[in-house]
A and B are shown apart, each in its own frame.
Chain A
Amino acid sequence: MARFRLLPDEQQARSPLLLLWREFSRQHSAMSGLVLFILFFLLALLSPLLTPHDPYLQNDTLLLIAPSWSEQGLVQYPFGTDDLGRDMFSRMLMGARYTFGIALITVIGALLIGLLLGVLAGMSKGLKSSVFNHVLDLALTIPSLLLAIIIVAILGPGLLNTVWAIMLALLPQFVHSIRNAIAEQLNQDYVTAYRLDGASNWQVLTRIILPNIWERLTVTATMALSTAILDIAALGFLGLGAQAPTAEWGAIIADSLDLIYVAPAGVALPGLLIFTAVLSVNLVGDGLRNAMKKRREN
C-alpha cells in the first residue's frame, strides 16, 4: 500500500456497494436465497391477484380433495382442498402475505424505532445512556413468546396484537446493535476530523455514521426477519396470533392438525413454506455477512 498510485486499479475504483454485490453474487447459496426471497416478496405483494380461487370461499361439494399429484386430485386444485372445501393453493399463496409480509412490516417497524432509540442511546453519554441500557437488558430477557402471552392477555388474541409483541421482542437487539455500531464509529479518526471541521452532531450522524452502519443493520434485520417469521407462525399455530379463518401458514397447520391422517399435505405444505421462507432469509443474511467479510479482506 506504500506505493503511490495516481489512479487506483479497476478493482478498487468500484463503489463499496458494487464490491459487496460482486462478493455476494459469487456465492451460489446466497444467490438462490435471494431469488427465493424476491419470489416470496412478490408473492406477498401480489398474492390477491395470483390466487386462482377465493381462499375463503367454502365449497361443500369439494371437501378434502387430494392434491393433484394423487389419483383422486383435480387439476384445478393443485394442493387439494381442506375440510371446508377451501382451495389450499390459494390459501398458501395468501399465507405469504400474512406470514412473510407481516413479518417484513414488523421488522421494518422495529428497525425504525430501534434506529431512533439506538441513535439516542449511542449519541448520549453518562447516566442517561446507562439507565437506558439496563432497561433494555430487562426487555432482552423476557422470552418473545412470554411477551406475546402477556400482550395477548391484555389486548386479546389477534394477528395485530402479536405483531406488537414481536416488535417489542425484536427491538432490544436492534437498539443494541445500532448503539454498538455508533459507539464504534464515534471512535474513528474521520469522525474527529469531521468534528474539527465544525460538523454538528446531526451532520456527523447523517453523513458519516448512518452510511457506515447500514450494511450491518441489514444483516441484523435479516436475522430479525427470520425470527419474526418463525414467531408469527408459532403464535398462529398456538392460536394466539392469526385467528382461524385467516390463511396464515401457522394457523393453517393448526387447522389441519386434526386431519393429519386424512390430509397430511395440509400440515406438510405450510410447514415447508415457512421453512423455505426462513431459509431464504437466512441464506441472504449469511451471504451478506460473508460478502462483507471478504470485501474487508481484499
Chain B
Amino acid sequence: MILYLLRRLFLLVFVFIALSILAFSLGYLFPGNALQNFTGMTDIPAELATQLTAEYRLDSGYIQQYIAYLQRIFSGDWGLSFASKQPLLQEIKILLPATLELAAYALLVSFFVGIPLGIIAAIKPDGIVSRIISTLAIAGYSIPVFWWALLLIMLFSLGLGWLPTAGRIGVLYEIPHITGFMLADILLANSQHQTEALLNALRHILLPTIVLATFPTTVMIRFTRDSMLDVWEQSYIKTARAKGLNRAQVLYRHGLRNALLPVIRQIGLQFSTLITLAMITEVIFSWPGIGRWLIDSIYQRNYPAIQAGLLVISTLVISVNMLTEILHTLFNPLARKR
C-alpha cells in the first residue's frame, strides 16, 4: 500500500510539472507579448518594463523563465487580471468556493438520489419501475444542460415566479465573506435576519443545483444499476443466499459493498465533466463562480485569468481524481495488486 501511495505521489508530481509547463507556455502561445500575459499589466512604462523583464527573467532562456514562473506561483504572485487590475489569486480565492459549493451540492444530490434509484432499478431489471427509472436516466443523460436550465427558469422563475433566476442571495442581505461558502457564511454571520437569509440563499441555490445534478445523478443511476446487476450474478451472492441470508441482508452485506466500489471511481472520472457543466450552469444563473469568470475572461481577452484558471481548475480535478482512485484502492484490496 505504501509503495502504491508513493507511486501515486510520483505520478502526481509528474502531472503537476506537466501542467505547469503547459500553463507557462500559454504565456507565449496567447496573442500579445509574453510580459503582458505574465504580469497582467496592459500598458507598462519603459523603465518598469526593463525592470520586470529582469525580474521575470524574460531575457534569459526558457528554462530560467519557467523556474521563475514556478517561484512566482508558489509565492502567490499570480499576476494581475487584465479586466479588473486585481491580483488573480485574490479573485480566485473569492470565486472558487462558490463553484465548489455548487458542485458539492450537485454531487450530494446525485448520491442521495442516484444511488438509491440505481439500486431500485437493479432489483427487478425488467419491472415497470426499473423501466421508468432507466428511461428518466437516459433522458437526463441526453439533455443539453443550458437548455434544461432555460426550461426550468422559464417554468419556475418566469412562469410560476417561485424561484429567483440569478445570483447566490438577494441583494438585501449583506453576508460577510468568511469561508466563501454561502450557507456556512450565513450561519457564521450571526445577524438578526439569519433565518430569512438562509431561506433566501436556499431558494437561490435550488435551481442551479437541480440543473447541475441532473447529469451526475443519471450517471450514478446507470452505473449503480449496471454494477449491481453485475455483482448480483456473482457466486458469492448465491453462496450468501444459500447460507440463509434474506434479500435485504445480502444486499447490504455483500451486494452494496461490492457494487458501490466502481461507483467511487466513477466520481473521479466524471468530475471533469461536472466542472464543464458547472461552468455553463454558472453562466446561465449568473452564479459568481470561477466558471462564469473564465468564460467572461475569454470575452474580455483576459489571458492571465485563463492561465490562472487552467492551473486552479486542473489542480482541483487532478486532486479529486487522485483522491477517488486512492480511496477506491483503499477499499478494494484486489486493485492494489496491480
Contacts and interface: CB of A to CB of B under 8 A. Distances in A.
Interface of A: 134-135, 137-138, 140-146, 149-150, 152-154, 226, 230, 233-234, 237-240, 250, 253, 257, 260, 264, 267, 271, 274-275, 278-279, 281-283, 286
Interface of B: 11, 14-15, 18-19, 26, 29-31, 138-139, 141-147, 150-151, 154, 272-273, 275-276, 279-280, 283, 291, 294-295, 297-299, 301, 303, 306, 309-310, 313-314, 317-318, 321
Main secondary structure of the interface of A (DSSP, over half): helix
A239 B299 CA distance: 9
Main secondary structure of the interface of B (DSSP, over half): helix
10 contacts: A137-B15, A137-B321, A138-B19, A143-B317, A150-B26, A226-B142, A230-B144, A271-B144, A271-B147, A275-B144
Which one of A143, A145, A271 has the highest number of Cβ atoms from chain B below 10 Å of its Cβ?
A: A143
Closest 3 CB pairs of A and B: A271-B147, A278-B142, A145-B276
B280 A143 contact: no
B209 to A, nearest CB: 19
Given A154-B30, A282-B138, A138 B18 contact: yes
B279 A150 contact: no
Contacts of A237: 146, 280
Contacts of B139: 279
A152 B145 CA distance: 21
B275 A143 contact: yes
B226 to A, nearest CB: 9
B142 A282 contact: yes
Contact of A142 (B283, B295, B310): B310
B272 A150 contact: no
Contact of A145 (B141, B143, B279, B314): B279
Which one of B18, B141, B144 has the highest number of Cβ atoms from chain A below 10 Å of its Cβ?
A: B144
A199 to B, nearest CB: 28
Contacts of B272: 140-144
A231 to B, nearest CB: 8
B138 A142 contact: no
Contacts of A271: 144, 147, 150-151
A134 B15 contact: yes
A150 B142 CA distance: 26
Given A141-B314, A149-B294, A149-B306, A253 B18 contact: no
B21 to A, nearest CB: 10
Nearest to A235: B280
Given A271-B144, A271-B150, A279-B142, A146 B298 contact: no
Contact of A260 (B141, B154, B301, B317): B154
